Structure 1
Amino acid sequence: MAFFLSILPIILLIYLMVKRNAWPSYVALPWIAVCVLIIHLAFFGTNIAIVSANVTASIIAVQTPITVIFGAILFNRFSEVSGVTNTLRKWLGNINPNPVAQLMIIGWAFAFMIEGASGFGTPAAIAAPILVGLGFNPIKVAVFALIMNSVPVSFGAVGTPTWFGFGPLNLNDEQILEIGSMTALIHCFAAFVIPLLGLRIMVGWQEIRKNILFIYLSVFACVVPYFLIAQFNYEFPALVGGAIGLLISVLAANRNIGLARVENNLDNNAVSFKEISKALLPTGMLIAILIITRIQQLPFKAWMNDATTWFAVRIGSLGDFEISRGLIFSLKNIFDTSVSASYKLLYVPAFIPFIVTVLIAIPLFKVSFRNATDIFGDSLKRSKNPFIALIGALIMVNLMLVGGEGSMVKTIGKTFAETTGEHWTLFSSYLGAVGAFFSGSNTVSNLTFGSVQLSTAELTGLSTTLILALQSVGGAMGNMVCINNIVAVSSVLGTNNQEGNIIKQTVLPMIIYGIIAALVALFVIPLFYNI
C-alpha cells in the first residue's frame, strides 16, 4: 500500500498530461501536489507542521528555476527586440542552407556548450528560438531540443550533477572522477544514436542518410574532447567539448564537408562580420560571465557562495530569516522544524548572467526605454504559468521526500531495487530518470536517489561507481521528459498546453537511452574498468 500510494501521484500526473484533452502543467501539477499532501496527512500521518514547512520551503525554492526561466525569456525577448536574433538567424542560416547542418550546429553543438556552462534548462531555451526563427516548427523544435540536451547534462553547469549531486555520499575524489569517467563513456555510446532520433523529429531518414558524415563529424567533435577531459576532470567536459564541437561544426559546414548539396538560396552578403560580432556580443558576455563565476580557481564563485551571516532576524513562528555576505537569502527552522530553504541571488544563473547581460546590452544596442520596459513586462507575463506549474512541482517533490528512509521517494526506489536484485544494472538508469522527471534536475535526482543506488549496489555486490554512473546518466536522459525543462522551452517558444504532446514524443528516446546505458554497463565498462 505504501508503494502504491507513493507511485500513484506520478502515474496520475503522467496520465493527466498525456490523455486526450490533456491538462496543462500549470493545472495538473498543483492538483497533484494537493494529492500528495492529502496522502501524507491521511495515510502517512505526517505532522502538519512538517507539511506546512515543506510547502513554505517549496515556495522559496521555486524562485531558483523560475528566475532562470524569467532570465532566459528576458534574454530572448531582448534579442528579438534589439535585432540580435534576426542577425543570428541570417548568419547561422547562411553558414549552410542544409537544414541538417543548421540543426546540428545550433541544436547539438551550441546547446552542448551552453549546457556545460549553465544547465538549468537554458540550452533548449536559448537554442530553440533560433531554430524556430529559421523556419522550423515550434513543437518539433521543442521535442528536438529536449532530446539533444541529454548527452552533456551530467556535466552541465560546470559539472554540478557529478561533484555536488553525489556530495552527500562522502565519496573520495578518485571515486567521483571514476564515476565521471564511466558516465562520459556511457553518454558517448548513446551519442551514436540519440542525435539521429532527435534529427528524425525534424527531417526524414533519407535526409539523415545523405548527411550522415557531417552528423557524426559534429557528434564526435563534441564527445571526443568531452570523454578525454572526463578522465581527469568532472567540471569542464561539456563546456570545453561543446566549444570545440561548435567550432569544428561551423568550419565543416562552411566547407560543406559531409553534407549533401541543396539549392543555394543563401545571401552571402546578408550579414557583415561587424554585424555578426555585435550580435554575438550578448551571448559571448553570457558565456564569459558564467565561466568566470564558476571556475573554482577564481575568487568570484567563493564570493557568490559565501554563507557567512550578514543579517539575521527571527520572524515569529515562520522561522529565522538570514542574508549572507554572498547575498544568499535563507529561511531556517521553518515553523520550528529542521526544514530550511534558500535562494542564491548572485549564483543562480538568473540575475547573473541573464539580467546583468541584458542591462549592459540595452544601451549598447540603443534599445529605447519604452521597448526596454516592454521587454521586462512581457517576460514577467510569460513567466506566470511556469511559476504556477513549478510551485506545484516543487511542493510535490518536497513532500515526496519527507520521511527519511520511509519517504515516498525512497519507498519507490527501494521497491524497484528489491524487485530487480542483482539485475539492478538493467534498471538503475531509469530510477535516475524518474528523479529528473519530477524534480527537473540531474543534480536533484542524484541527491535524491544516490543513497538508494549506493546501498543497492553494496547489498547486491555490484560496482558502486558503475551504479552511480548509471544514476547520473539516468538523470541526464530524464531531462527529455522532465517537467521543468518542458515548461521552460514551451514558455520561451510560446507553445501553449503542449506539454503532454511533447512528453509522448520524448519518452521513447529516453527508453532507448536507458537500454543503451544498460548494454554499455554490462559489456563495455568491464573491458576498461576494474569492477
Structure 2
Amino acid sequence: MTSLFLSVIPIVILIWMMTKKNGLPSHIALPVTALMVGAIQLFYFGTDITLISANIIAGILSAITPISIVAGAILLNRMIYLSGSEDIIRRWLEGISRNQVAQLMIIGWAFAFMIEGASGFGTPAAIAAPILVGLGFNPLKVAMLALVMNSVPVSFGAVGTPTWFGFSNLGLDDATLLDIGKTTALIHFVAAFIIPPMALRFIVSWNDIRKNYLFVLISTLSCTVPYFLLAQWNYEFPALVGGAIGLIVSVIVARFGLGLAKEQHSVTQTVFAGDAAAFGEVNAVNMTATDSRSAETRSSEKQSVQSQSVSSAQIFKAMTPTILLIVILIVTRIKQFGIKSILTDGTEVFSLSFGPLGDFSLSKALIVKLSHILGTDVSWAYKTLYVPALIPFLLVVLISIPLFKLKGNVVKQMFSETASRIKMPFIALVGALIMVKLMMTGGENSPIMTAGQAFSDLMGTSWQYVGAYLGALGAFFSGSATVSNLTFGAIQQTIAINVGLPQTTILALQSVGGAMGNMVCINNIIAVSTILGIANKEGFIIKRTVVPMIVYGIVAAIMSTIV
C-alpha cells in the first residue's frame, strides 16, 4: 500500500500545483515533481544513485526532441506571419466562409486531422492553431480547441505509428494488429459525434453550434467515415486519407453554405463575449467598445473584409510553405516512397567512448545516440533527419526566405522571436521528461507499473470500463500515444489474459486512451501554448480539457461492451 501511495502522490501533487488557484507555472511545478520522484526512488525504492543520475541525463537530452519540434513550428509560424502569408490565408478562408464554426471545423478539425495522419509529434496544433489565431480567435481558447480536436486521429497518426510501433513489443501478428485497429477506429468513430462540438464550445456558444450542427456533422463524418472504412484493412493510412478527404469535402460544403446558419456573430464578438474575466485577457473597456459599435460600423467592416479578395496566385504563394510541409511530411513518412528508410537508417558510421559518461555514436541518417549512460542500460537517441524539426520545418523556412524575398532584418527577427519563446518551455520539458524517466525506472517495480497493476487488481473483470484511462495516463506522463502504448501495452495485455477479457478490445482501449490523453498531455499543452505565446496557463487548460477527456473515456467504456 505504501508503494502505491508513493507512486501516485507525486502526480496528485503535480496536478494540484498546476490547477489550484494561482497555480504554479509548469517550468516550476514539473522540476519540483521530478525532484520529488527522484527522492522517492532513492530513499524508498532504494534505486541506485547511478541509475537515477543516468535517467536524469537521459531526461535532459530527451527534451531536445520536443523543443526542437516546437522551435521549428514557431519559426515557420513567424515566417508565415512576417511574410504576409498569414493575412492572405485569413482573407482566403473568410472568402470560403465567414462562419466561425466552418472556419474552426475546416482548420481545427479536418486540416489538423490530415496533418496528424502524416506526422504526429504535435505538428497539427503547431500548424493549425496559429492559422486560427490569425483569423482573430482567442489564442487560449484556440489552444484548448486544438488539444481536444487532435484526439480522434491520433491512434493512426504519423502513418499509424502508435498502432504498429506502439504495440511492437507484444509479439502480435499482423492480423491481430489489424483487429486492434478496427476496434480502435470504431470507438473513435463513435466518440467523434461528441468531441468536435465539445471542442467548439471553447470558442462559440451552444446556440451557434446547434444552428450550424449539420455542417459540423458533415465535416466530422467526411473525415471519420473514410477513416473507419480504411481501418478495416489498413492501420497506417486511416487518419491521413480520412483527413485529406474530409478537408476537401469540408471546404466544398462550406463554400456552398450547406448546413451553415445564414447569420453569424463576428469573430471579435465571440472571442470577447461572456468569459473575458475568467481568461484575464480582455478588460471591460474592450468589451464595451466592441459591444457599443453601431450596426452601421459593423456592416461597413463586414463589407470591407468581403471586398478584400485575393487572387489564386496570391493564395497559392501564401499556401506554398504549408503545401511543402504536407508534401514533405507525406513523402518522408510513407515507407513505400523509400525516403523514410534513408532518414531512419541506424547503420553506425562513427562511435566514440566518453568513458563513464557513455558511448556516443552517429549513424548514416545522422541519428545521434548516447548508450550505456553512466555504465547503465539507459540510453538516448535523437533522429536528426526524421524528427520534424530540420525536416520539414527548418527546410521549408529556408526555401521560403528567398521565395518571399525576406530581408535580413526580418529573418533575424524570425529567429530571435523563436529563441525567446522556447526558454521557459525547455525548462518545463526537461522537468517533465526527467519525471517520466524516473517514474518508469525499476521495471516491473517502477512507480508507474506499481500504480497500473494496483488499479487493475482493484477492478478485475470490470477493467474494461477504466482501461482507456490508463492509456490516457501514459500519454499525460510521456507526451506521446506511441510511448503510452509501448509503456502500458504489456500491462493491458497481461490484465486481459489474467481476467479473461478480449485482448484486442483491451489493447484498443489502450490505444484510444493514449489518443484521448493528448488533451491533457503536459508536453502538448506546453508546446501549443509556446507556439501561441500563452504564458503560465497550463493548469487552467488542463482543468478544462480534462472534461472532454473523461467523456471520451465513458464513450470508450460503453463501446467496449458492444464490440
TM-score (norm 1): 0.97
**In percent, how many aligned pairs have the same letter?**
58
Q: Could you tell me which residue of structure 1 aligns to residue 187 of structure 2?
A: 186
1:375-386 superposed matches below 5 A: 375-386=414-425
Of residues 324, 346, 351, the one that matches 1:312 is 351
Q: Contact conserved, 1:332 with 1:338, CA < 8 A, in 2?
A: yes
Q: Could you tell me which residue of structure 2 aligns to residue 70 of structure 1?
A: 71
Cα shift at 1:122: 1.5
Q: Could you tell me which residue of structure 2 aligns to residue 369 of structure 1?
A: 408
1:38-117 superposed matches below 5 A: 38-117=39-118
In structure 2, distance between residues paired with 1:182 and 1:141: 30
Q: Could you tell me which residue of structure 2 aligns to residue 132 of structure 1?
A: 133
- State whether structure 2 residue 360 is matched by structure 1 residue 359: no
- State whether structure 2 residue 238 is matched by structure 1 residue 237: yes
2:201 aligned counterpart, secondary structure? helix
Cα deviation 1:118-141 (Å, max 9, x = unaligned): 111121121111111212111111
The letter for the 2-side match of 1:374 is Q
1:425-444 superposed matches below 5 A: 425-444=464-483
The letter for the 1-side match of 2:228 is F
Cα deviation 1:272-297 (Å, max 9, x = unaligned): 11111111110111011111111111
1:327-406 superposed matches below 5 A: 327-406=366-445
2:382 aligned counterpart, secondary structure? strand
In structure 2, distance between residues paired with 1:173 and 1:39: 41
Unaligned runs of 5+ in 1: 526-531
Q: Contact conserved, 1:114 with 1:123, CA < 8 A, in 2?
A: yes
Of residues 306, 326, 337, the one that matches 1:298 is 337
Q: Could you tell me which residue of structure 2 aligns to residue 529 of structure 1?
A: none
1:331 aligned counterpart, secondary structure? strand
- State whether structure 2 residue 530 is matched by structure 1 residue 484: no
The letter for the 1-side match of 2:552 is Y
Q: Could you tell me which residue of structure 2 aligns to residue 170 of structure 1?
A: 171
Cα shift at 1:236: 1.0
Cα shift at 1:374: 1.6
Of residues 546, 550, 555, the one that matches 1:516 is 555
The letter for the 2-side match of 1:472 is S
Of residues 301, 307, 310, the one that matches 1:271 is 310
1:54 aligned counterpart, secondary structure? helix
In structure 2, distance between residues paired with 1:238 and 1:268: 36
2:365 aligned counterpart, secondary structure? coil
Moved over 3 A (4+): 263-266
Unaligned runs of 5+ in 2: 265-301
Q: Contact conserved, 2:371 with 2:379, CA < 8 A, in 1?
A: yes
Q: Could you tell me which residue of structure 1 aligns to residue 508 of structure 2?
A: 469
The letter for the 1-side match of 2:509 is L
In structure 1, distance between residues paired with 2:331 and 2:174: 23
RMSD: 1.0
Q: Contact conserved, 1:55 with 1:398, CA < 8 A, in 2?
A: yes
Cα shift at 1:190: 0.2
In structure 1, distance between residues paired with 2:131 and 2:435: 33
1:343 aligned counterpart, secondary structure? strand
Cα deviation 1:322-372 (Å, max 9, x = unaligned): 001111000001111111110000011111000011011111010112211
The letter for the 1-side match of 2:259 is G
What is the aligned length? 524
Cα shift at 1:215: 0.5
Q: Could you tell me which residue of structure 1 aligns to residue 365 of structure 2?
A: 326
Q: Could you tell me which residue of structure 2 aligns to residue 198 of structure 1?
A: 199
Cα shift at 1:511: 0.3
In structure 2, distance between residues paired with 1:148 and 1:465: 25
In structure 2, distance between residues paired with 1:284 and 1:364: 14
Cα shift at 1:181: 1.0
Q: Contact conserved, 1:149 with 1:480, CA < 8 A, in 2?
A: yes
2:245 aligned counterpart, secondary structure? helix
Q: Contact conserved, 1:25 with 1:499, CA < 8 A, in 2?
A: yes
Q: Could you tell me which residue of structure 1 aligns to residue 461 of structure 2?
A: 422
Cα deviation 1:385-432 (Å, max 9, x = unaligned): 111110000000001111111011100110110000000000000000
Q: Could you tell me which residue of structure 2 aligns to residue 160 of structure 1?
A: 161
In structure 2, distance between residues paired with 1:257 and 1:59: 50
Q: Contact conserved, 2:91 with 2:308, CA < 8 A, in 1?
A: no
Cα deviation 1:205-255 (Å, max 9, x = unaligned): 111111111110000000001111111111111111111100000000000
The letter for the 2-side match of 1:18 is T
Q: Could you tell me which residue of structure 1 aligns to residue 287 of structure 2?
A: none
1:176 aligned counterpart, secondary structure? helix
In structure 2, distance between residues paired with 1:425 and 1:233: 25
Q: Contact conserved, 1:397 with 1:439, CA < 8 A, in 2?
A: yes
Of residues 449, 453, 456, the one that matches 2:492 is 453
Q: Contact conserved, 2:119 with 2:333, CA < 8 A, in 1?
A: no
Which 10-residue stretch deviates more, 268-277 or 169-178? Answer: 268-277
Q: Contact conserved, 1:97 with 1:262, CA < 8 A, in 2?
A: no
The letter for the 2-side match of 1:455 is T
In structure 1, distance between residues paired with 2:48 and 2:511: 33
Q: Contact conserved, 1:94 with 1:268, CA < 8 A, in 2?
A: no
Cα shift at 1:30: 0.7
Cα shift at 1:67: 0.6
Q: Could you tell me which residue of structure 1 aligns to residue 212 of structure 2?
A: 211
Cα shift at 1:262: 2.1
In structure 2, distance between residues paired with 1:477 and 1:516: 11
